Protein backbone atom coordinates (compact mmCIF):
# COMPACT_ATOMS: atom_id res chain seq x y z
CA UNK A 1 0.00 0.00 0.00
CA UNK A 2 1.36 3.40 -1.00
CA UNK A 3 1.66 5.94 1.78
CA UNK A 4 1.76 9.72 1.52
CA UNK A 5 4.90 10.66 -0.40
CA UNK A 6 6.33 13.51 -2.37
CA UNK A 7 5.11 14.05 -5.91
CA UNK A 8 6.47 11.51 -8.36
CA UNK A 9 5.96 11.19 -12.10
CA UNK A 10 6.04 7.71 -13.62
CA UNK A 11 6.39 6.52 -17.16
CA UNK A 12 3.28 5.04 -18.69
CA UNK A 13 4.83 1.57 -18.45
CA UNK A 14 4.36 1.64 -14.66
CA UNK A 15 1.00 0.77 -13.19
CA UNK A 16 -0.94 3.39 -11.22
CA UNK A 17 -2.48 2.53 -7.89
CA UNK A 18 -5.97 3.54 -6.75
CA UNK A 19 -6.16 7.22 -5.82
CA UNK A 20 -3.39 8.32 -8.19
CA UNK A 21 -3.89 11.30 -10.47
CA UNK A 22 -3.33 10.43 -14.12
CA UNK A 23 -2.01 13.16 -16.43
CA UNK A 24 -2.69 12.44 -20.11
CA UNK A 25 -0.78 14.37 -22.75
CA UNK A 26 -3.20 15.68 -25.36
CA UNK A 27 -0.50 17.70 -27.16
CA UNK A 28 -1.95 21.20 -26.53
CA UNK A 29 -3.27 20.48 -23.05
CA UNK A 30 -3.25 17.85 -20.31
CA UNK A 31 -6.29 15.78 -19.43
CA UNK A 32 -6.57 14.60 -15.82
CA UNK A 33 -8.30 11.62 -14.20
CA UNK A 34 -8.32 9.65 -10.96
CA UNK A 35 -7.29 5.99 -11.09
CA UNK A 36 -9.85 3.91 -9.19
CA UNK A 37 -8.48 0.41 -9.80
CA UNK A 38 -9.24 -2.48 -12.14
CA UNK A 39 -7.78 -0.52 -15.06
CA UNK A 40 -10.36 2.27 -14.77
CA UNK A 41 -10.30 6.02 -14.20
CA UNK A 42 -12.94 8.53 -13.21
CA UNK A 43 -12.74 11.80 -15.10
CA UNK A 44 -14.68 14.77 -16.38
CA UNK A 45 -15.29 14.65 -20.09
CA UNK A 46 -16.82 17.16 -22.45
CA UNK A 47 -16.73 14.78 -25.40
CA UNK A 48 -19.47 12.44 -26.47
CA UNK A 49 -23.04 12.31 -25.30
CA UNK A 50 -24.09 14.24 -22.24
CA UNK A 51 -22.14 17.44 -22.94
CA UNK A 52 -24.02 20.64 -23.60
CA UNK A 53 -23.59 24.40 -23.16
CA UNK A 54 -25.41 26.27 -20.44
CA UNK A 55 -24.83 29.96 -19.61
CA UNK A 56 -21.26 30.19 -20.95
CA UNK A 57 -20.24 26.93 -19.27
CA UNK A 58 -20.08 23.51 -20.75
CA UNK A 59 -21.97 20.97 -18.73
CA UNK A 60 -19.91 17.81 -18.87
CA UNK A 61 -20.27 14.38 -17.33
CA UNK A 62 -18.21 12.56 -14.75
CA UNK A 63 -17.50 9.13 -16.20
CA UNK A 64 -15.74 5.92 -15.24
CA UNK A 65 -13.94 4.40 -18.19
CA UNK A 66 -11.02 2.08 -18.86
CA UNK A 67 -7.71 3.96 -18.65
CA UNK A 68 -6.65 2.58 -22.04
CA UNK A 69 -9.81 4.04 -23.65
CA UNK A 70 -9.27 7.47 -22.09
CA UNK A 71 -5.54 7.53 -22.93
CA UNK A 72 -6.07 6.25 -26.49
CA UNK A 73 -2.78 6.74 -28.39
CA UNK A 74 -1.45 9.42 -26.06
CA UNK A 75 1.19 9.22 -23.34
CA UNK A 76 0.27 9.39 -19.67
CA UNK A 77 1.99 9.65 -16.32
CA UNK A 78 0.99 9.18 -12.73
CA UNK A 79 1.42 12.73 -11.44
CA UNK A 80 0.47 13.43 -7.84
CA UNK A 81 2.26 16.77 -8.13
CA UNK A 82 0.62 18.39 -5.11
CA UNK A 83 1.59 15.65 -2.64
CA UNK A 84 4.42 17.84 -1.39
CA UNK A 85 1.97 20.70 -0.71
CA UNK A 86 -1.22 18.95 0.44
CA UNK A 87 -1.74 15.68 2.26
CA UNK A 88 -3.75 13.36 0.02
CA UNK A 89 -6.99 12.04 1.43
CA UNK A 90 -6.94 8.34 2.38
CA UNK A 91 -7.03 6.11 -0.69
CA UNK A 92 -10.46 4.64 0.09
CA UNK A 93 -11.89 8.18 0.44
CA UNK A 94 -10.36 9.25 -2.88
CA UNK A 95 -11.72 6.21 -4.71
CA UNK A 96 -15.17 6.34 -3.05
CA UNK A 97 -15.47 10.09 -3.68
CA UNK A 98 -14.56 9.64 -7.34
CA UNK A 99 -17.00 6.75 -7.78
CA UNK A 100 -19.82 8.65 -6.06
CA UNK A 101 -19.49 11.42 -8.65
CA UNK A 102 -19.94 9.10 -11.64
CA UNK A 103 -22.89 10.27 -13.72
CA UNK A 104 -22.97 13.74 -12.19
CA UNK A 105 -22.94 16.87 -14.31
CA UNK A 106 -19.79 18.96 -14.01
CA UNK A 107 -19.99 22.66 -14.86
CA UNK A 108 -16.85 22.75 -16.95
CA UNK A 109 -14.86 25.93 -17.44
CA UNK A 110 -11.31 25.68 -18.76
CA UNK A 111 -10.02 28.32 -16.32
CA UNK A 112 -12.00 27.70 -13.14
CA UNK A 113 -13.51 24.22 -13.24
CA UNK A 114 -11.65 21.82 -15.52
CA UNK A 115 -10.66 18.16 -15.34
CA UNK A 116 -7.54 19.01 -13.31
CA UNK A 117 -9.69 20.86 -10.76
CA UNK A 118 -11.83 17.73 -10.54
CA UNK A 119 -8.85 15.41 -9.97
CA UNK A 120 -7.21 17.63 -7.33
CA UNK A 121 -10.51 18.12 -5.50
CA UNK A 122 -11.04 14.36 -5.33
CA UNK A 123 -7.45 13.58 -4.28
CA UNK A 124 -6.71 16.48 -1.92
CA UNK A 125 -10.09 17.98 -1.04
CA UNK A 126 -9.14 21.31 -2.64
CA UNK A 127 -9.39 22.56 -6.18
CA UNK A 128 -6.23 23.46 -8.09
CA UNK A 129 -5.15 23.64 -11.72
CA UNK A 130 -1.71 24.52 -13.09
CA UNK A 131 -3.24 24.74 -16.55
CA UNK A 132 -5.99 27.10 -15.42
CA UNK A 133 -3.52 29.33 -13.58
CA UNK A 134 -1.16 29.39 -16.58
CA UNK A 135 -4.02 30.23 -18.93
CA UNK A 136 -5.12 33.06 -16.64
CA UNK A 137 -1.57 34.48 -16.60
CA UNK A 138 -1.38 34.23 -20.39
CA UNK A 139 -4.74 35.94 -20.82
CA UNK A 140 -3.83 38.68 -18.35
CA UNK A 141 -0.54 39.30 -20.15
CA UNK A 142 -2.25 39.26 -23.57
CA UNK A 143 -4.74 41.89 -22.42
CA UNK A 144 -2.33 43.98 -20.34
CA UNK A 145 0.45 44.39 -22.90
CA UNK A 146 -1.72 46.09 -25.58
CA UNK A 147 -3.21 48.40 -22.94
CA UNK A 148 0.25 49.41 -21.72
CA UNK A 149 1.39 50.00 -25.30
CA UNK A 150 -1.56 52.29 -25.90
CA UNK A 151 -0.77 54.52 -22.92
- Taking only the tens place, the pLDDT of each residue in 46-94 is 865 444 455 556 789 999 999 999 999 999 999 999 999 999 999 999 9
| Active-site residue set | 31, 43, 115
The predicted structure's pLDDT at residue 47? 64
pLDDT digits (tens, 9 = 90+) for 96-142: 999 999 999 988 886 677 999 999 999 999 998 877 545 554 544 44
% of the chain beyond a pLDDT of 90: 56
The predicted structure's pLDDT at residue 138? 53
The predicted structure's pLDDT at residue 99? 98
13-32 burial: b if 16+ Cβ within 10 Å, else e: eeebebbbbbbbeeeeebbb
The predicted structure's pLDDT at residue 144? 44
What's domain 21-150's superfamily in CATH?
A: endopeptidase domain like (from Nostoc punctiforme) (3.90.1720.10)
Cβ atoms of 63 and 106 within 8 Å: the answer is: no
pLDDT at 34 over 90: yes
Supply the pTM of this predicted model.
Answer: 0.76
Amino acid sequence: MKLWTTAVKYNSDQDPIPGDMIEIDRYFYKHWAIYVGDGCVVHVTTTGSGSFSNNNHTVAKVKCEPLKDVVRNNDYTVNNYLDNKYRPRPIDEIVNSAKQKIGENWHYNVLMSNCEHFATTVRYGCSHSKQGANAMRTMTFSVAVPIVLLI
